[in-house]
Structure 1
Amino acid sequence: MKLDPIRRRLLELVAHRDPPTDLKKASLACGKNHAYLHQFVHRGTPRRLPEDVRWALAAHLGVDESVLRDGTPPPPQPSGARQVEAVTTRRPRVYSRILDPDHEPGVVAVPEVRVTAAAGGGAVAEYEALGDSWYFPVDWLRHELRARAADLKIISIDGDSMEPVLAAGDKVLIDTSRTAPSPPGIFVLHDGLGLVAKQVEYVPNTDPPTLLIKSANPRYQDYERTVDEVTIAGRVIWFARRL
């Protein structure tokens, strides 16, 4: 089929997005099935993008939603460094302010919390709600992160021990159902001294079972703790950073 200006513009935005995306990823980011935008572009179904999809797609592509609105020309863009700044400093919270999970079944709220984990193996991590929620497409959580919204929390990184992988102020999404360090990964845990985000892996053939806890920053030394000495709050599965 012959593409109208909106469909051509969508393909251009997808092709030039940084970081890269495609129609499948963009569809999932809108809370739709993976073929939704392919059908919209190439088969004309739906004929127009619903408003909720348009807002979610604009957030994913880092553009104003009016760019994807029928009959509306794209707004003038600043040039040079200002244009880069306008795009790269856009944060996921723009998306969260637009979508209301009570009226948008395609999105779900994930609370931002402060973890107050007790020391000692088997202790249960407790969370203090900070009053903010981040809204994510349900299908994206399910298919891309393979996680359930009920198991997820957002917390802030403090300190530089995981730089350059994670920096102070980064927001990380932790899956509280994944507390076993196998396979190895980045976990939020209480190591007996305080709450940290670290690379954690199980040391084979140890008795008692032992974990190797590592920093990404070479200034910090690796160390070991027995399983009984730590409380793992969850595995880090996603992060956001302001540029």
Structure 2
Amino acid sequence: MPIFGGMSGQEIRTALQALAERAGVSLAALSRMLGRNDAYLQQFVHRGSPRMLAEGDRRQLAEFFGVPETTLGASGEAGPMLVRRLAVAASAGPGATIDDDVMIGVEAIDRQLARRLGLSEGAAAVIRVRGDSMAPGLVEGDHLVVDQQDVRPTARGGLYVIRIGDVLMVKRVRATPDGLVASSDNPAAPPVPEGPIAVIGRVVWQMRLPT
């Protein structure tokens, strides 16, 4: 029996069928989502034809179901880690209201880098910086990789995406005996809004287009 990424062909087909049933979506609908004819995934699941999912189809299905590609037969080390890109911007300026937490795409991160950053599969997101209150370190348009499992700033502090009221922002946050304190790096920035600080995650990587 063919083996892909440590899984047999039958195990992959069974996993796909279970995911579809759990999501309440038909194999025909999933086939159309992939730009294939209605019978494409039905033939894969029930007849083993094609013998394996095309890489692009597997990636799109994994994104749709919100599971790692390894669930559908990818090798755990074969490709990059896919990180959700969200339709939100963390203000590094006066403040930006939160947009809907909607995935608008994915970013691919090298797995060795992901391990070095301590990222777990499905636990990171990419958001865009808005404003200049964290300049010169962060500027408008930078994209940040945020580890959403790291939500406990230490006394030493670090860069975190936080929410105060209905405003999402990236600030330098540290723990004190009286609670969390958030500050801007740019001395010309306006004061950080008052209110309880909800930590969304720690900034672990910064991406910037060359100028």
**TM-score, normalised by the number of residues in structure 2:** 0.54
2:130–2:140 CA contact under 8 A, matched in 1:
yes
Q: Which residue of 1 aligns with 2:103?
A: 129
Runs of 4 or more, structure 1, over 6 Å off, are none
TM-aligned CA deviation for residue 192 of structure 1: 2.1
Letter in 2 for 1:114: A
Counting only pairs closer than 5 Å after superposition, residues 157-196 of structure 1 correspond to structure 2 as 157-182=129-154, 183-196=156-169
Alignment partners' CA distance in 2, 1:116 and 1:137: 23
Does structure 1 residue 139 correspond to structure 2 residue 129? no
Identify if the C-alpha distance between structure 1 residues 221 and 211 changes in structure 2 by more than 3 Å, giving closer, same or farther: farther
Identify if the C-alpha distance between structure 1 residues 211 and 221 changes in structure 2 by more than 3 Å, giving closer, same or farther: farther
Alignment partners' CA distance in 2, 1:175 and 1:216: 21
What SS does the corresponding residue of 1:153 show, helix, strand or coil?
Answer: strand
Does structure 1 residue 148 correspond to structure 2 residue 115? no
Number of residue pairs matched?
A: 130
Counting only pairs closer than 5 Å after superposition, residues 1-243 of structure 1 correspond to structure 2 as 105-115=78-88, 127-130=101-104, 132-142=105-115, 144-182=116-154, 183-203=156-176, 205-206=177-178, 210-221=179-190, 223=192, 229-243=196-210
2:123–2:148 CA contact under 8 A, matched in 1:
yes
Provide the identity percentage: 26
2:83–2:107 CA contact under 8 A, matched in 1:
yes
Alignment partners' CA distance in 2, 1:106 and 1:193: 37
What SS does the corresponding residue of 2:189 show, helix, strand or coil?
Answer: coil
Unaligned runs of at least 5 residues, structure 1: 1-96, 118-125
TM-aligned CA deviation for residue 111 of structure 1: 1.0
Identify if the C-alpha distance between structure 1 residues 213 and 222 changes in structure 2 by more than 3 Å, giving closer, same or farther: farther
What SS does the corresponding residue of 1:114 show, helix, strand or coil?
Answer: strand
Alignment partners' CA distance in 2, 1:193 and 1:164: 25
TM-aligned CA deviation for residue 222 of structure 1: 5.2
1:175–1:236 CA contact under 8 A, matched in 2:
yes
Alignment partners' CA distance in 2, 1:160 and 1:109: 28
1:212–1:225 CA contact under 8 A, matched in 2:
no
CA deviations on 1:195-214 (whole Å, 9 max, x unpaired) are: 110001112x32xxx22211
Identify if the C-alpha distance between structure 1 residues 194 and 163 changes in structure 2 by more than 3 Å, giving closer, same or farther: same
TM-aligned CA deviation for residue 115 of structure 1: 4.2
2:163–2:197 CA contact under 8 A, matched in 1:
yes
Alignment partners' CA distance in 2, 1:151 and 1:179: 12
CA deviations on 1:56-112 (whole Å, 9 max, x unpaired) are: xxxxxxxxxxxxxxxxxxxxxxxxxxxxxxxxxxxxxxxxx9xx6855623221110
Letter in 1 for 2:203: V
**TM-score, normalised by the number of residues in structure 1:** 0.47
TM-aligned CA deviation for residue 221 of structure 1: 4.9
Alignment partners' CA distance in 2, 1:194 and 1:115: 11
Letter in 1 for 2:101: Y
What SS does the corresponding residue of 1:157 show, helix, strand or coil?
Answer: strand
Alignment RMSD (CA, Å): 2.8
Bigger strand share? 2
Unaligned runs of at least 5 residues, structure 2: 1-55, 60-67, 91-99
